[in-house]
């Protein structure tokens, strides 16, 4: 099919289950909440080499946060055990240390819960405090008091929702990827964990030549190898491909994000083809067809 | 002594040796280089709970980078073994994956070297390529080709240079901390690895109450505990304290950063006292006296 | 009364009628739409010395714009004749010249209309084109084609909605002003036209000493003149005052913005008093009582 | 000739004299200085329809400003009479009103001077004050005190230095234009006054069809009119052209900026041709040959 004159491949994205924590970080101004959110979600592009996948979901206006201050929601995604460890470490090192911050559970309805006991940092000076109906701990620190919840909901979400943007040159594909990320930013419950939300070097599982590698370049999608690789999947005229990878709290939000992203990408001049990544359908329980996004 | 009407404590910052790698990340525009740099240096505030300390040192203009594109220099700091692992992982996951990036060694004169072999990702399609006199590997990827050096200099640098900004209220201290971070950003060879460059919750080693904690709140510097803690070091009238922690390639640059930061902080109205953190001088080999900064 | 421990003055903001145009600027990405919006609304803080008052109202997601691309809404406010001239000049010089932009009427329901005939720039090569149900002109330009509507609704709105944030020092007042501007940014139909949304030098009409001045410093609200001016209105302990000035499409949205802004400001530590500016109620037809904001 | 594989046209940019003022705006942090600088230089893309041309030249670190705070230098360009009026209005409305700002003359060596008497705003409460060796006025205002010089140097500079970036599609040309603007940002003494520094709709003098227009689309450089216009100057394969227009304090800095910008643009994939705009050499006294930039 075509959309806005761009060919949409007859394929699907194959995605995987992951555990997801959603944390609301508030601060005195939007900017300071954002700085903490960015630090807390750094070095978290891909579970292949990072301790988790994480990203900034979006802005949460003051009237929707427990303490009436502006905030950002972040998602942290990993296996269950790793998730608890990562939420603790990232909040302890990157949010408790950040100016004027507070943290709140962003999944208060979730049945599954993890404890995040930062209050031990208070060395006995900490005390319980209710903020906006939430049971928090207040910890005396050098800039005053840190306030935070310590019981966080987690849900079984979806990792690896994705699509490929193919351009007649690199800059067309890149700007389309940016437009896609912009559009996805308006969707609740999802993140794009790679740098700027974009993957420049999509990978295949394992490696043909170097057996010690758990992932390597996906040569079938490398435009410079189009003539060299026998079964290249790079369409004629395509010079660059970016992958957008989406993690989310459920399949519905990942699908909504894919839809917003694909539509946005097709509006950028120089984009010629949209596809998606899968492993034949045998690995991941979620299959999101591109044709169902429209 | 006083500077700009602010009392400067008669004390010193105690700092420690660390191994430092300096990486130049370039991209098609300044913005894309910055996005990769931020992702690669996230979750890296403090060695206490993060795998390393890292931050963006500063912008490197196109005429000073090997490939003539705009770039950012980042510093990654850790023990020697951990450093190699972290440089590899952070470049592999956060820069190789980022749109249009290339990486170059930012310490070409350093005698000590570490290998950073990303080229295995190329699965045999990679090849050697010289860029601006540097021996690089080019790896075919989905957005075209990634180019990077794989031999990086490391130096024995300094971690934990610091000073405390004390304000008559929290916002005065915070804006002064921001002004200090702004000033430090112009100094070469240093980073401030905490969120936005600022520490809100400076810690002491260990914990009196919770023996399993390796660090806990520094109650002597907590303004809300001033009346409660016997030997509080919070001066009268101080309501908030921020710590600026600086890592750098050598003692001289850390000292220069401290000087620029302290001077900037004293120009912000509402700042009343500047001090620094040390452990009695027995732990760290570097002692930087505040009075020597002027 | 008090709110979050801050005294709210028993007074009101006095505001004035103005004509308002609302323009949607779209572009290939959010960033490029924003750059055009900022340029088009610059040098437009106050009708006293600028040709109009203008500002960025907020982001408009792709699914709400006529061409399905991300956009920003801007407001331009002035007397009716001046408004037409300013909309034409600002769109011609700052949006038509900006990369990839399109413009659409942001007040399609308004009965009062102004023509904005940019298509003459096409020198005869221009042609009519429908986009998302809107009658537009397409103008061939160097970067491709500019597309825009040329018939814009205007409404009788409200200028000069305002409140004063008073702090125990300058940085507390400034951060509170920033928090207020952040909160107002989420309100539809309003702008804060001053730099960063904040007024540092609120004025009175005319001047006592220099008769040729149409406005001069409001000495009764100058903290440094508190002991010098007989009838100073600076409360004890206040060291700095910022004014937030709001223009909007109607009284309701200005009131909503004032409410969001005042509430946000009171949450910032160091803020001690909120007031508002008026001229005794004889000049402006709109009187918005602070006590009605809660 | 070719540079980085891109054809460089054998032509020159024709530029014009203009009067230039350079103002240093400082504030408590870099961010607040920048906000004032952006507001003060808005609605100032082209002298054709704006009251002046203006832009942010660049960051000035604290150690180089008279008051030791971070700052930004801006340039304002216009005819001599208009220039004085615009400097006064823009400083009065966009900088005096901005939080924590001070202004200083950025051309202290210039022989030609203009007075910028903002102190009348003080209504008699103002007083003289020396800051960093500069004679300033201090004006009591609501946020404390505004401080500024009132005697500004102006020099006969150069307006309209330019080059054209031609791409195989719009996004390649746009990213190259961005890369060029990034590179020019490192050059002292110049600005690129258009939105984001880039012109999407370069114009010719007058109009063939609409005699009341002083400028209209430059149809010879419109890619969509390539087949329609007899003497099109759009090279084969070019789908989009952006113009970078540079104003500066002298010919040398404009030339340096053109050099940095052109070189940067040629490094972006998809750029195929660089040219420049002139009027046959009869109008402007400055002719900057593209071949002399290398």
Kindly write down the DSSP assignment for every residue of chain A, as one continuous string. Answer: -EETTEEE-S-EEEEEEEEEEEEEEE-SSHHHHHHHHHHHT-S-S-TTTSS-EEEEEEEE-GGGSTTSS-EEEEEEEE-HHHHHHHHHHHHHHHTTTSTT-EEEES-TT-SSEEE--GGGGGTT--EEEEETTEEEEEEEETTEEEEEE-EEEEEEEEEEEEEEEEESSHHHHHHHHHHHHHHHHTSTTEE--SGGG-BSS-EEES-SS-TT-SEEE-GGG-GGGTTTSTT--PPTT--EEEEEEEEESSHHHHHHHHHHHHHHHHTSTTEEEEE---STTSS-SEEEEGGGG-
User: What percent of chain D is helix, strand and coil (3-state, nearest 5)?
Assistant: 25, 35, 35
D112 touches chain C (CB under 8 A): no
Residue B292: per-residue pLDDT: 97
Task: Select from D78, D95, D97 the residue whose CB has the most chain C CBs within 10 Å, as the one to mutate to test that interface.
Answer: D97
Contacts of C33 (CB under 8 A, 6+ apart): C25, C26, C27, C69, C70, C71, C72, C101
Flag if C264 and A62 touch (Cβ within 8 Å). Answer: yes
On chain C, the residues whose CB falls within 8 A of the CB of D125 are 217, 219, 222, 225, 228
Distance (Å) from the alpha carbon of D208 to chain B's nearest alpha carbon: 39
Name the CATH architecture for the domain at D2-14+157-293.
Answer: 2-Layer Sandwich (3.30)
Residue A280: per-residue pLDDT: 85
On chain D, the residues whose CB falls within 8 A of the CB of C41 are 42-43
C6 touches chain B (CB under 8 A): no
Evaluate whether B277 touches B210 at the Cβ level (below 8 Å). no
Flag if C32 and D99 touch (Cβ within 8 Å). Answer: no
Residues of chain B with pLDDT under 70: none
Query: Do A2-14+156-293 and A19-155 share a fold?
Result: yes
On chain B, the residues whose CB falls within 8 A of the CB of D182 are 29-30, 62, 70
Interchain CB contacts (distance < 8 Å): A and D: 43
On chain A, the residues whose CB falls within 8 A of the CB of D168 are 168-169
Q: How far apart are CA D195 and CA D192, in angstroms?
A: 8
Three-state DSSP class for residue D197: helix
Give ∠ CA C238-C243-C247 in degrees, rounded to 5: 165
Three-state DSSP class for residue C125: coil
- Burial classification of residue B94, based on how many CB atoms lie within 10 Å of its CB (0-12 exposed, 13-18 middle, 19 or more buried): buried
Distance (Å) from the alpha carbon of B269 to chain C's nearest alpha carbon: 7
What pLDDT, in 10s, does the model give residues C110-130?
A: 999 999 999 999 999 999 999
On chain A, the residues whose CB falls within 8 A of the CB of B100 are 170, 174, 200
Residue D194: per-residue pLDDT: 96
Residue C271: per-residue pLDDT: 98
Task: Select from A5, A171, A178, A265 the residue whose CB has the most chain D CBs within 10 Å, as the one to mutate to test that interface.
Answer: A171
Give, in order, the Cα–Cα distances in Å from A208 to each of A211, A214, A219, B191, D124: 7, 10, 11, 40, 81
The DSSP bridge partners found for residue D159 are D16
Three-state DSSP class for residue D211: coil
Digitized pLDDT (tens) for each residue of chain A, 294 residues in all: 999 999 999 999 999 999 999 999 999 999 999 999 999 999 999 988 899 999 999 999 999 999 999 999 999 999 999 999 999 999 999 999 999 999 999 999 999 999 999 999 999 999 999 999 999 999 999 999 999 999 999 999 999 999 999 999 999 999 999 999 999 999 999 999 999 999 999 999 999 999 999 999 999 999 999 999 999 999 999 999 999 999 999 999 999 999 999 999 999 999 999 999 998 878 889 999 999 999
B99 touches chain D (CB under 8 A): no
Residue A71: per-residue pLDDT: 97
Task: Select from C41, C48, C201, C212 the residue whose CB has the most chain D CBs within 10 Å, as the one to mutate to test that interface.
Answer: C201
Residue B280: per-residue pLDDT: 85
D72 touches chain C (CB under 8 A): no
Q: How confident is the model at residue C48 (pLDDT cuts 50, 70, 90)?
A: confident
Looking at residue D199, the DSSP 8-state letter turns out to be: B
D228 touches chain C (CB under 8 A): yes
What pLDDT, in 10s, does the model give residues B76-96?
A: 999 999 999 999 999 999 999
Chains near D (3 or more Cβ pairs under 8 Å): A, B, C
Distance (Å) from the alpha carbon of D168 to chain A's nearest alpha carbon: 9
CB crowding B235-264: b at 16 or more within 10 Å, else e? eeebbbbbbbbbbbbbbebbbbbbbbbbbb
On chain D, the residues whose CB falls within 8 A of the CB of B144 are 269
Share of chain A above pLDDT 70, in %: 100
Contacts of A243 (CB under 8 A, 6+ apart): A162, A163, A164, A165, A198, A199, A202, A277, B142
Give ∠ CA B42-B47-B53 in degrees, rounded to 5: 40
Of B62, B267, B268, the CB nearest to D264: B62
On chain B, the residues whose CB falls within 8 A of the CB of A194 are 39, 97-98
| Chain D from 148 to 167: CB within 8 A of any A CB | 167
- Burial classification of residue D129, based on how many CB atoms lie within 10 Å of its CB (0-12 exposed, 13-18 middle, 19 or more buried): middle
On chain A, the residues whose CB falls within 8 A of the CB of B202 are 141-142
Q: How far apart are CA D259 and CA D187, in angstroms?
A: 10
Three-state DSSP class for residue C185: helix
Of A169, A176, A268, the CB nearest to D270: A169
On chain C, the residues whose CB falls within 8 A of the CB of B176 are 171
On chain B, the residues whose CB falls within 8 A of the CB of C175 are 171, 174-175
Record the tokens describing residue A177, joined without a space. Answer: 């990827």
Looking at residue C136, the DSSP 8-state letter turns out to be: E
Record the tokens describing residue C212, joined without a space. Answer: 């040729």
Distance (Å) from the alpha carbon of D178 to chain B's nearest alpha carbon: 7
Q: How far apart are CA C31 and CA C20, in angstroms?
A: 25
Distance (Å) from the alpha carbon of C169 to chain B's nearest alpha carbon: 7
C-alpha C82: how far from its chain's center? 16
Nearest Cα residue in chain D from B62: D183
Give, in order, the Cα–Cα distances in Å from B144 to each of A95, A170, A227, B40: 37, 7, 14, 21
Distance (Å) from the alpha carbon of B171 to chain C's nearest alpha carbon: 5
Distance (Å) from the alpha carbon of D266 to chain A's nearest alpha carbon: 13
Of residues B266, B257, B70, the one with CA closest to residue B166: B266
Evaluate whether A118 touches A92 at the Cβ level (below 8 Å). yes
Residue for token digits 């409660």? B228
Flag if A68 and C183 touch (Cβ within 8 Å). Answer: no
Residue C280: per-residue pLDDT: 85
A170 touches chain B (CB under 8 A): yes
Residue for token digits 């692992």? B85
Q: How confident is the model at residue C100 (pLDDT cuts 50, 70, 90)?
A: very high
A102 touches chain C (CB under 8 A): no
Of residues D69, D252, D243, the one with CA closest to residue D157: D252
Interchain CB contacts (distance < 8 Å): A and B: 282
Q: Which DSSP string do the residues of chain B spell out, in sequence order?
A: -EETTEEE-S-EEEEEEEEEEEEEEE-SSHHHHHHHHHHHT-S-S-TTTSS-EEEEEEEE-GGGSTTSS-EEEEEEEE-HHHHHHHHHHHHHHHTTTSTT-EEEES-TT-SSEEE--GGGGGTT--EEEEETTEEEEEEEETTEEEEE--EEEEEEEEEEEEEEEEESSHHHHHHHHHHHHHHHHTSTTEE--SGGG-BSS-EEES-SS-TT-SEEE-GGG-GGGTTTSTT--PPTT--EEEEEEEEESSHHHHHHHHHHHHHHHHTSTTEEEEE---STTSS-SEEEEGGGG-
Flag if D70 and B178 touch (Cβ within 8 Å). Answer: no
Interchain CB contacts (distance < 8 Å): C and D: 282
Q: How confident is the model at residue C264 (pLDDT cuts 50, 70, 90)?
A: very high
Residue B283: per-residue pLDDT: 81
Flag if D183 and B62 touch (Cβ within 8 Å). Answer: yes
On chain D, the residues whose CB falls within 8 A of the CB of C93 are 43, 45-46, 48-50
Flag if B270 and C176 touch (Cβ within 8 Å). Answer: no
Nearest Cα residue in chain D from B186: D61
C262 touches chain A (CB under 8 A): no
Record the tokens describing residue C177, joined without a space. Answer: 């002003």
Task: Select from A5, A30, A66, A269 the residue whose CB has the most chain C CBs within 10 Å, as the one to mutate to test that interface.
Answer: A30
A268 touches chain D (CB under 8 A): yes
D169 touches chain A (CB under 8 A): yes
Chains near B (3 or more Cβ pairs under 8 Å): A, C, D
CATH number of B19-155: 3.30.70.520
Chains near C (3 or more Cβ pairs under 8 Å): A, B, D
Flag if D182 and B62 touch (Cβ within 8 Å). Answer: yes
Q: State the DSSP H helix or E strand holding residue C134, giving kind and residue range, or none if neither.
A: strand C134-141
Record the tokens describing residue D67, joined without a space. Answer: 């008051």
Q: How far apart are CA D193 and CA A69, in angstroms?
A: 37
For residue B180, report the phi and psi dihedrals to the nearest 5 degrees.
-65, -45
Digitized pLDDT (tens) for each residue of chain D, 294 residues in all: 999 999 999 999 999 999 999 999 999 999 999 999 999 999 999 988 899 999 999 999 999 999 999 999 999 999 999 999 999 999 999 999 999 999 999 999 999 999 999 999 999 999 999 999 999 999 999 999 999 999 999 999 999 999 999 999 999 999 999 999 999 999 999 999 999 999 999 999 999 999 999 999 999 999 999 999 999 999 999 999 999 999 999 999 999 999 999 999 999 999 999 999 998 878 889 999 999 999
B183 touches chain C (CB under 8 A): no
CATH number of B2-14+156-293: 3.30.70.520
D171 touches chain A (CB under 8 A): yes
Residue C140: per-residue pLDDT: 98
What pLDDT, in 10s, does the model give residues C204-213?
A: 999 999 999 9
Contacts of C145 (CB under 8 A, 6+ apart): C138, C139, D224
- Domain extent listing, chain B: 2-14+156-293, 19-155
What pLDDT, in 10s, does the model give residues C88-97?
A: 999 999 999 9
């Amino acid at each position: 099919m075509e959309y806005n004159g761009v060919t949409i491949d007859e394929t699907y994205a194959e995605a995987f289950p992951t555990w997801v924590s959603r944390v609301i970080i508030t601060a005195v101004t939007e900017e300071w909440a954002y700085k903490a959110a960015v630090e807390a979600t750094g070095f978290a592009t891909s579970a292949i080499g990072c301790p988790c996948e994480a990203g900034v979901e979006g802005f949460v206006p003051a009237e929707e946060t427990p303490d009436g201050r502006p905030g950002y929601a972040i998602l942290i995604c990993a296996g269950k055990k790793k998730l608890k460890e990562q939420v603790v470490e990232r909040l302890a090192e990157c949010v408790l240390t950040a100016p004027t911050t507070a943290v709140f559970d962003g999944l208060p309805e979730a049945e599954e819960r993890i404890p995040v006991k930062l209050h031990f940092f208070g060395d006995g000076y900490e005390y319980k405090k209710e903020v906006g109906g939430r049971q928090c701990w207040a910890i005396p620190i050098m800039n005053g008091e840190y306030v935070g919840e310590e019981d966080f909901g987690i849900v079984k979400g979806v990792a690896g929702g994705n699509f490929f943007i193919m351009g007649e040159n690199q800059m067309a594909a890149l700007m389309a990827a940016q437009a896609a990320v912009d559009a996805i930013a308006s969707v609740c419950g999802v993140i794009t964990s790679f740098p700027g939300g974009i993957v420049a070097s999509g990978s295949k599982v394992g490696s043909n030549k170097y057996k010690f590698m758990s992932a390597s370049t996906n040569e079938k999608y490398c435009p410079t190898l189009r003539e060299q690789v026998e079964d290249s999947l790079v369409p004629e005229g395509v010079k660059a491909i970016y992958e957008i990878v989406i993690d989310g709290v459920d399949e519905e939000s990942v699908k909504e994000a894919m839809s917003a992203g694909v539509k946005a990408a097709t509006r950028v001049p120089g984009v010629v083809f949209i596809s998606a990544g899968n492993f034949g359908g045998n690995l991941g329980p979620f299959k999101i067809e591109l044709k169902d996004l429209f």
